[in-house]
């Protein structure tokens, strides 16, 4: 058993992440998929420059490569995403099981790996152009996102602070999918949330480990024969190299999160369930509209 990061509403959110190629493109409204996807080249270019502080030639190279990736993604992956989400909606017509949750998470992960494998060659070519100045910018950005993680997950606070922050994040996600929650539902969610062991500090350490691995890997960037396959492994096997205690804690926390989300799914009112399915259908409609646009342009 490997640790996974969500089920039920969390899984649906993970699927939406895959739909938009990069997790940070996830926006709150269904119609935002079309907007975000059609602006993905601009958004991703801004993100890349934020991490690497590219010069003009590097920006042009990145734009060319990301345009190629997005064209492939629109042509080859979007129809599969629409089917995947439609299958999720079909399963959502009845109470979800743990097997459903496992299938959803595995499906989202598999689709991310397809993108990573397809984009590895272009990523390796682009990363080979990095200068010492780019690497300093990357280290600075890593420091920035690490500080943000510490703030958002209250790592410098008390155990109660961290639990409260986690509960707030969980309630926010559930409200985004199901709409308003009753007081009784929120009390039950709080009790289930209390039982989930905190792994945030270990996650923070593991994120930093991954960052250091990436910086070390970049030292090979001029040796294509070694760099490209190692980069693909780093992108697709993100659980490799975890500390055993973190792996064990993640497994335990994952099982508790599964129990929480499946319990919540069972307590949804008919109106809340309809809200979830309607929101999911909005994602499906937007993906199909993007696919139709692709077909019309061919």
- The 10s digit of each residue's pLDDT in 196-230 is 999 999 999 999 999 999 999 999 999 999 999 99
Return phi, psi of residue 95, to 5°. -60, 135
Q: How far apart are CA 245 and CA 200, in angstroms?
A: 13
34 close to 286: Cβ distance less than 8 angstroms: yes
Q: What percentage of the chain has pLDDT greater than the value 70?
A: 85
Q: How far apart are CA 91 and CA 73, in angstroms?
A: 26
- The 10s digit of each residue's pLDDT in 159-178 is 999 999 999 999 998 998 89
User: pTM of this prediction?
Assistant: 0.84
Residue written as token pair 């309809």: 274
pLDDT value for 13: 36
- The 10s digit of each residue's pLDDT in 256-274 is 998 898 999 899 999 998 9
């Amino acid at each position: 058993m490997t640790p996974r990061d969500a089920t039920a509403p969390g899984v649906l959110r993970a699927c939406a992440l895959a739909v938009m190629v990069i997790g940070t493109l996830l926006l709150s409204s269904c119609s935002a998929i079309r907007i975000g996807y059609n602006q993905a080249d601009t958004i991703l270019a801004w993100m890349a420059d934020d991490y690497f502080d590219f010069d003009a030639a590097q920006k042009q190279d990145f734009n060319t490569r990301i345009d190629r990736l997005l064209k492939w993604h629109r042509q080859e992956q979007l129809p599969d995403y629409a089917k995947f989400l439609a299958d999720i909606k079909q399963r959502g017509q009845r109470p979800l099981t743990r097997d459903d949750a496992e299938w959803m998470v595995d499906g989202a992960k598999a689709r991310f790996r397809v993108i990573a494998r397809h984009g590895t060659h272009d990523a390796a070519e682009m990363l080979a152009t990095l200068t010492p100045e780019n690497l300093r910018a990357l280290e600075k950005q890593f420091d920035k996102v690490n500080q943000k993680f510490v703030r958002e997950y209250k790592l410098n606070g008390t155990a109660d602070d961290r639990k409260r922050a986690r509960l707030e994040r969980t309630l926010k996600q559930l409200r985004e999918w199901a709409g308003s929650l009753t007081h009784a539902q929120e009390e039950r969610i709080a009790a289930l949330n209390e039982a989930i062991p905190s792994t945030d500090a270990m996650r923070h350490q593991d994120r930093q480990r991954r960052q250091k691995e990436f910086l070390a890997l970049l030292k090979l960037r001029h040796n294509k024969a070694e760099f490209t396959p190692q980069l693909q492994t780093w992108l697709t096997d993100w659980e490799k190299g975890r500390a055993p205690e973190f792996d064990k804690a993640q497994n335990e926390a994952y099982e508790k999160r599964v129990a929480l989300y499946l319990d919540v799914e069972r307590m949804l009112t008919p109106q809340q369930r309809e809200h979830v399915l309607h929101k999911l259908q909005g994602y499906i409609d937007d993906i199909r509209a993007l696919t139709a646009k692709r077909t019309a342009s061919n």
